[in-house]
Amino acid sequence: MSELAITKESLHRVDLITVSGRVDSDSYTQLEAALDNARDHVVLNLASVHYMSSAGVRSLVSKLRDCKQAGGDLRLSEPSSRVMEVLTLAGLHSLFGTFDNDTTAVGSF
């Protein structure tokens, strides 16, 4: 069984979602549900994600598309080296705004 922890904090205009653990074919639905319930301005902290499957990547891209269509954005805060490696190998790293910390990412909206 995959271990995944997700917390969501609703700030003034932004939802800050912090994810830790493995996002794999068993757990990606938890990430998808959190993203589906978020507003259109989202910061996703991925500092403690040590594995992300293609299903997790699809969830990120799908929410990014939805946010952009609604005039918002999905931005990444502190993506782990594993997450960046997966996004880079998939050729998707340039789609996401990436920030060194939550404060900078939230302030970018």
Other beta carbons within 10 angstroms of residue 11's beta carbon come to: 13
- Between the two ends of the chain, the Cα-to-Cα distance in Å is 36
Query: Which structural domain range is residue 60 located in?
Result: 4-107
Residue that the structure tokens 């830790």 belong to: 20
Helix (H) or strand (E) holding 17: strand 15-23
CATH at residue 32: 3.30.750.24
DSSP alpha helix (H) spans, the chain: 28-36, 54-69, 81-89, 102-107
Are 63 and 38 within 8 A, CB to CB?
Answer: yes
pTM here is 0.93
Q: Is 42 helix (H, G, I), strand (E, B) or coil?
A: strand
Q: What's the pLDDT at 33?
A: 96
Q: Which residues contact 26 (CB under 8 A, 6 or more apart)?
A: 1, 2
Mean pLDDT, 10 residues at a time, the chain of 109 residues: 87 96 95 96 97 96 97 98 95 95 96
Q: What's the pLDDT at 24?
A: 94
Total number of domains constituting the chain: 1
